Structure 1
Amino acid sequence: MNVLAAVAMVSYALLSPSGGQVQPAPKPELVRPAAKKPTTVTPRRPAEAGPCQIGVIPIAGDLFMVEKFGPLKFLDKYTRTSVAAWALDDLVVSRVRAAAPGSSVRRIPYTREELRSGGHQKQNPFFYRAAADVKGFVQFLAPKIRCDRYVVVHRHGGTQREYGIGISQYPYGGPVHLFAMMFIRVYDGQTLELTKEAPALMTDDTYIERMTHNFLGGPSTQLDRAMFPEKPADVVNNPVLREGVRTMLTKSLDKTLPSLLQQPAQTPSR
């Protein structure tokens, strides 16, 4: 994948649900036979408050890649479609909370425009460095909510041509793969220096596992060729693709996050 495609793939985000609350019924003496039933009011979700131990910056977003590979790379066809209804960023935040029980975990908000620009007014699309650009985005967002640590979960490429979250089809009757490849970076909240990083994998990163389960360089599952969508817009309402992605994302984050978030044991003072 060329550099321009990599830049374009680190974009988009975020939806969050809200709950409902029923209003109390009117007093009996005011009720008339024709009175309407009490309506349901949906209040706004209260803003998170209090100290932040872990700030989460999820960049799973709503972007799903449909990749149809040709016999040569320059014949590859890439399209993308929105899967905002899958709430993948919300899933990422929930897995960070599950991996850090007892810690105060806050989601760091950002807009699509901020993500697209990387927090900079000017950006050279011909010179993209993942580590430097992700760190720059953390530095840009950190003043919004001060946290002890920041965790960024973002898309990345595997060992083959797949990138991020999507589905790929190989030529000449080759396989169809559904994949969800994410990378995790942990930053110190004071210095904003990178402290830990790792790809999110569902299995141990060994040679045997890479050959048997991670041959694309990250979580993937092979599907019947009939599952490849005829139109990218068909993806969002496909339950097999949705549950496949969410399952891989959940398993890989649950496997990888605990060791990255584990704090070193403190030596008791004498």
Structure 2
Amino acid sequence: MSTVDGVGAAFTEGRARGLLAAAVPEVSAADATLLTLGENAVFGIGGLVVKVGRDASLLARAAHELRVASWLAEAGVPAVRAAEPTARAAEGHPVTLWHRLPEAVRPAGPADLAEVLRLVHALPEPGFALPRRELLGGVERWLRLAGDAVDPADAAFLRERRDGFVAAAAALSPHLPPGPIHGDALPRNVLVGPDGPTVVDLETFSGDLREHDLVVLALSRDRYGLDPRAYDDFVRVYGWDVREWAGCEVLRGARETASCAWVAQHAPGNPAALTEFGRRVASLREGDTAVRWYPF
């Protein structure tokens, strides 16, 4: 089975351009530049960035991201701003429009991420309900999209692992007071422009353990080759090292499980994704926490 979206067609760049053309006819889809192709196809065109959701089930998530963007704007947090307050749709796929940010003056680093996380973690709850950080909530969908490109035994292993970490995470006692979090706190979700760091990709904003945002960089240090000195900068700017917390290994294990399943959705027709999935799932099966994973 190929990777499919909600209407049964492969979600390729060409497919995403067609959806862009249908939802935003006032721009020329042919002139749009593909910036990324993952959970969304993200295009730049003129002063806009347009995000086209991979799956029709992401419509509610797109609406949530727009609501979060409005809230952050009101709170004065430097974050990407929506060009329209509601999502458009093409064949059920969410399509959202954003103001394009200035060009980055340099790549964002862990210290920049820590700076914006301090702002986010200082926010009170908004006037609407933030969802819990369902870190493992996408596992089933990603494995469904992977279909028979991955070994059914590996899929079953990830489902069992997911269930165990869902239960373990529910029993955690946090060190920090729970509240608003980014949910996918990586330097790639920060852009450093002329006025400093700005938060982007707001889809995973949640109300949950603040430790969720901090475990991400700890895992980057251990799995993805982040320079330990850069991690130390992150800790220095934020003010606390999540590795001191007893629950760190539980959230790390949950995120590893989700990250492995996320790669699986790209496996059909993509040998590099299948190779990376194999590396990740084998290391989880073997309990080897030192195997290097590669961003995908």
TM-score by length of 1: 0.26
Which structure: larger Rg? 1
Q: Larger % of strand: which? A: 1
TM-score by length of 2: 0.24
Q: Larger % of helix: which? A: 2
